[in-house]
Amino acid sequence: MKTKLTLTPFLLLHFVVYSQQNLPLKFKGDAVKWAELQWMDGNRTVDQRFEYRVPPIVVDDTIYLFNNYEGLFNNSISVGYCGYTIKKLNIKTGEKYWEVQRQYKEFRKRKAISQPAVKDGQLIVTLFDEAPPENGSGTSWYRCYPAHIAIDRLSGTVVDSNYVDRSIADLPIFWATIDPNTSNNSQFILKDSMYIFRFFEGYYRNMVDESIDFDGNKLSSDSIHIALKYKARLFRHYNLNNEYVYVLSLRDSASWTKKEFLFNKYDHDLNLLKSVEFSGSVDLTDQVTVITSFPISSEYFVIVCNSQMANPLKYESRYFMFDGNGTFVDRADFIINGDPNIEYGWHRPLVDVVNKRLLLTRSQQEVKGQPTKFDILVSEGDSLRSISQIEVEGSDDHFRTTYHQMLDNGDILLFIDQFDWADQNIRWFSWILLDGAKMGIVSSTKDEGLAKNKPNIYPNPTSGLVHLDQVEDGQSVDIYNMKGVLVDSKTTQLHQIDITHLPQGMYIIELKSERTSERYKLIKVD
């Protein structure tokens, strides 16, 4: 018989949930290096809600984790974003050195993380500081003041902070967008001895930087215009590592007959470094219903085009990976036909920074009552292949990833939303680090000898000649397009093949011998 959570005292509730669930989430096997549960001290178990806003910061063997806290009043009514947690961990062991927690369960005084940065021996974190509503009554998280705290990186002590004087009449108020997945995506950035308030002005299509002193007064305003021929269907901008700004804009005519997809790269001061039109690299069909983007780092980003067909029920997602200069790198397609046997499943793109390819992750419960499985998938032509799979302990724990990234050594960092399928209102959040070697990303010591004998295919991308080291002359090579259609067959000569005659795009080359068959992705450019 299930315990009624609403009638259980706090201490007993805390114990019961822990006895039923694995907090943090646990996987079978030894792929998990460490797991860190997000928990706001002094609050109820059902009140533990956290949101991801900015990527972690990695410095040597240290990782800093940032989450905004979304709380509830005791009557279970949401108080919205009302605090944050900042943690310093050993990235290898998961040992927690310190944690800064803040919560503000009072309207008009709430605070949330905007942007963090490492400077000298301090961790500087700018904040959205909630301002009074425009009409003087009620509350509105859209209005805020700038603020920041400075944390000693060694001790975790807040050594400095700045908040504006709210009693000053006519003090400027700014627009808070705590969720970064919006076109506005406003940010407070600390620069020298002032704040920079950066946002997208949608009506005029301008990126705007407003300079603000520490008292909250506007000093100046600069803007750059984003020239768009058609209506902006998608506009996203991301501040990456306080170094670059990526701007992605999709424009189309009313009938979708004309489409343009523009990528602009700026430095931290909004000086244009690169502008690339890549409509030809992204397959924008009339069936596309949703387009999203994932900034991975200053080196890569991923664009996702989702479409849905009603009869028969079919979901299609196409993932396109680009490097930090807007050059197309890899692609993966995933199609879901309406399968009544699958209870749920979530897919997210993952950039493999070790092997410079695009992967997909999948958390899925194939049959209700069975454990959730977590897969890492690689694209091979018109299909996906699982290169690793791990299973959650127990059938009551389910999860989906809301953020992940691959570290330079191949380890995979996840931020997960864990829930009880019987009561999806109860959720917990954790950071989890997966071992890259045990997840099939990097070679183990046993595999190093085999890896040395694998073909080295270069250049990739290529405009014509492709060199194949470790491949004998006369070996058969089949070339497929991304739909799995055979477009050419060749034999190697002087350890190379010529694909000059093929149109630009991505291909799969299959190397066949009497005993083995191996496939590799190859990009043809003009």
Tell me the C-alpha to C-alpha distance, in Å, between residue 367 and each of 398, 424, 484.
12, 17, 30
Half-sphere exposure of 279 (CA within 13 A, CB side): 12
pLDDT of residue 5: 29
Rounded Cα gap, residues 191 and 454, in angstroms = 48
Contacts of 284 (CB under 8 A, 6+ apart): 250, 252, 259, 261, 305
Question: Of 192, 225, 258, which residue constitutes the final position of a domain?
Answer: 225
Rounded Cα gap, residues 84 and 90, in angstroms = 20
Say which CATH number the domain at 515 has.
Answer: 2.60.40.10
Type of residue numbered 26: K
Q: Do residues 143 and 176 lie in contact, with contact meaning Cβ atoms separated by under 8 Å?
A: yes
Half-sphere exposure of 7 (CA within 13 A, CB side): 3
In a domain, 42, yes or no: no
pLDDT band at 324 (very low <50, low <70, confident <90, very high): confident
In a domain, 89, yes or no: yes
Contacts of 307 (CB under 8 A, 6+ apart): 285, 287, 288, 289, 290, 315, 316
Q: Do residues 364 and 375 lie in contact, with contact meaning Cβ atoms separated by under 8 Å?
A: yes
C-alpha closest to that of 439 among 517, 379, 361, 344: 361
DSSP structure class, residue 44: -
Whether the predicted pLDDT of 417 surpasses 70? yes
In a domain, 491, yes or no: yes
pLDDT of residue 129: 96
In a domain, 517, yes or no: yes
Question: Of 207, 225, 243, which residue constitutes the final position of a domain?
Answer: 225
User: How much is the pTM?
Assistant: 0.83
Rounded Cα gap, residues 370 and 466, in angstroms = 47
Q: Do residues 282 and 293 lie in contact, with contact meaning Cβ atoms separated by under 8 Å?
A: no
| Count of domains observed in the chain | 2
Long-range contacts of 312-319, Cβ-Cβ distance < 8 Å, separation of 24 or more:
312/337, 312/338, 313/337, 313/338, 314/338, 316/287, 317/347, 318/282, 318/283, 319/349, 319/358, 319/360
Which domain covers residue 136, as residue numbers? 82-225
Q: Do residues 85 and 67 lie in contact, with contact meaning Cβ atoms separated by under 8 Å?
A: yes
Q: Are strands 272-277 and 259-267 parallel, antiparallel or unpaired?
A: antiparallel
266-308 tens-digit pLDDT: 988 889 998 888 766 676 655 555 667 676 677 888 888 777 7
pLDDT of residue 287: 52
Higher pLDDT, 110 or 453: 110
Rounded Cα gap, residues 484 and 381, in angstroms = 5
Lowest mean pLDDT, pick from 23-27, 358-362, 450-454: 450-454
pLDDT band at 50 (very low <50, low <70, confident <90, very high): very high
C-alpha closest to that of 189 among 166, 208, 170: 208
Half-sphere exposure of 225 (CA within 13 A, CB side): 5
When mean pLDDT is compared over 125-134, 183-192, 236-245, the highest value belongs to 125-134
Type of residue numbered 184: N
φ and ψ at residue 292, rounded to 5 degrees: -130, 170
CB atoms within 10 A of CB 421: 15
Rounded Cα gap, residues 202 and 207, in angstroms = 9
Question: Of 225, 249, 281, which residue constitutes the final position of a domain?
Answer: 225
The b/e string for 462-473 (b: 16+ C-beta within 10 A; e otherwise) is beeebbbeebee
pLDDT of residue 7: 28
Sheet order of strands, 344-352 included = 344-352, 357-365, 373-380, 383-391
144-199 tens-digit pLDDT: 999 999 999 999 999 999 999 988 988 999 999 887 767 778 999 999 899 999 98
Which residue, chain included where needed, has tokens 């479409």?
307
In a domain, 303, yes or no: no
Whether the predicted pLDDT of 113 surpasses 90? yes
In a domain, 495, yes or no: yes
In a domain, 471, yes or no: yes
In a domain, 416, yes or no: no
Q: What angle do CA 368, 363, 77 make, to 5 degrees?
A: 80
